[in-house]
Structure 1
Amino acid sequence: MNATLPARVSALRIKLGQLKDLSSKASEASDLSSLRTDLEQPVQTLAMLVKRQREFEDLGVPTSAPESLGKLRSRAASVRERFRAERTSVTLKKGQAWKAMLAETATATVDVEKSLITAWKEFRSAIFAGDTPAKISGTLAGTQGNIDALDAYRATYDAFNRQFLTLPSDGAVVTRARDLAAELMLIAGRFDYNVEPDVKAFLAAVQAGGAPLSLLTPEVWKWLKDGEGMDAYRVRAAETQ
């Protein structure tokens, strides 16, 4: 019996070693799962926004990628390379790289969402830069034709603005916004402005998508100054093909 004791002790030692290995592997698996959970939701949110950014581009709504997104990509590539070299949770948690990546993910998410909002607002200005119904009403002659046109313009303008209260959910919203912008330009062509000829030409051009600088005659300048309208218009470079 004593002769078998060393063998039993040896077997027990091996068994304990195996249990230790299993325990270590279970602990490692738990640590990796916890890290994965920390990253899962933030990454899903960011991925959804980046997907929408690509959809914007496909729909003809120009966007720009924030600097923080490029910074995050570099950080993620660095963390990934370190983990490939040594696939342990300790590798991921070593130093500040993991915490920094989580923080940069949050920053990039906010920045991408802001860039989408900005892009959508700029798209609005690009497809229609005409005046508000309130501003137009003060320059129109009091004819029945103008009253009818202004009513149609106001209803279409309100519908156009509603498209931009939130980010578009699909391409149909972008198409609808473009259609309403075109409709506003057509309605604006029906207006009979109760102003001097040069001012009428300027206002008609603004409603049609933009007035060239050549229409800013002394008469127009005077009308803008007298009506305190100098800050109501903005110079914007024309798009070139």
Structure 2
Amino acid sequence: MIIDTVIVMTEVLLIEDPIYQSHKLRALIRENADDLTRTLSCHQAKVAVRQNDFDFVVMDTTRCDEKALSMVTDLRETTDVPIIVVGAYESKTSVIALFLAGASHVFRDNAILEKTLPAAINSASRKSTDSTKARRDFGAMVVKKEGSVDLSVLDASCLSPTEKHLVDYLYKRRNTPVAKKAIVSDVLKSEWTGMGRAVDVHISNIRSKFRKAGIDSVLIQTLRGHGYCLVAQ
């Protein structure tokens, strides 16, 4: 009897922080992955993902600024593999911003990442020959733990296009009251009559998914007589 053995390599791309060296994160990935490619810029990363078949990308960043958000956006336009962002994000609003930019997961605590990343890499190494399906499966497998935000539950497969559009709409107008009528017109693309309740249902569903992801559901506040407001935290 002949048994065919398939050896699957787990390939990880690490985008290191250009200022603070990523010694600990590098060591953690090398302990669990078969191959690690390192870059220091988004341009280098975009070239790398075009030329290689990575299982996922890890981005090490110290804060959620416009540069970090633009890097995630650019990478998401280049590749469909999961993007994991690691950084000390105290602001829940920053986490939502990264999600809207295209991040798959955001870890706010390196200690939690140490417990979770090895299992994620092991899962990716057992991927099927259908690499695209395996990548999507991995994107939904990282388990939510205290100190991290599992954004897989807010992935497009769980968050409807309308809900994602609504979150993005409120985020861009954060700390500003938004009337239901404006949401109906700009997001739902509908006439106002009879649609106020539809907005309430969408907000309720979004809050429920926020809770599952470890994000405070009161991030979107109800303003009686005014509508809703996404409050930056």
Q: More helix per residue: 1 or 2?
A: 1
**What is the TM-score normalised by the length of structure 1?**
0.19
Whose radius of gyration is greater, 1 or 2?
1
**What TM-score comes out, normalization by structure 2 length?**
0.20
